[in-house]
Amino acid sequence: MTGSAVKEAAPVVATGLLVSDVDSTFLTQEVIELVAEHAGVRDRVEEITTAAMRGELDFAQSLRARVALLEGLDETVLATVRGILVPTPGALELVRRAKEAGWVTALVSGGFHEVIDELAAEAGIDYVRANRFEIVDGRFTGRVSGPIIDGAAKRVALEEFAQRHGVSTARTVAMGDGANDREMLVAAGTGIAFRAKPALREVADVVLDGESLWDAWPHLEAASRA
């Protein structure tokens, strides 16, 4: 599968499909802001991120603008950032329980493979679809490599994984927090907005405002009976 860096699961029929956004959903942080800290441009990147997640900016355009600010950064910062990632409370337990119950799990992210793949593999995530930094001679070029994973690409990923594993729409659950998760949540049988921006809350089936992603588990149980 193009864009998946985690070893693919065998295409067997699954109980359900759980697809989660990464930044401010599966993780408590925004990955590109952690990288931007090392370039001294975190404040500027945060401003663009916030506007994009509210739906005020086109996601692809905003991503290119943020990545452009990282030009010249040494790629060694990626290892540092990987070392400070903080999963959202309940996220790892939710994935573990879902997999025990026969669910396929995926992370679909406007963030970056280079940062999240290692954690995803450790968590037992079946699929990751995310962006990639363009790095030449050990330094960021300020460009994205390959197609951008935006809202439409997230929806396509959900539909693709569901079809691959024979999961009906009713048994798909998508979780996110920002405007670029709208299409994915609308396409899923159950769309969960987690501590989300208004642009996403208005289309979600479920709104969770607590601290823990474990609060999503009852909704997976309900979906598995659909």
Cα torsion for 51, 37, 28, 161, to the nearest 10°?
A: 70
Residues 6+ apart with CB under 8 A from 216: 90, 94, 173, 175, 192, 194, 206, 208
Nearest Cα to Cα of residue 151 among 115, 111, 110: 110
Distance CA(74)–CA(64), nearest Å, equals: 18
Distance CA(134)–CA(97), nearest Å, equals: 35
Respond yes or no: is residue 21 known to be catalytic.
Answer: yes
Catalytic residue among 23, 117, 126, 181: 23
Catalytic residue among 21, 150, 177, 181: 21
- For 78-108, give one letter per residue: b (16+ CB within 10 A) or e: beebbeebebbebbbebbeebbeeebbbbbb
Beta bridge partners of 25: none
At residue 44's C-alpha, the angle toward residues 38 and 50, to 5°, is: 115
* Active site (catalytic) residues: 21, 23
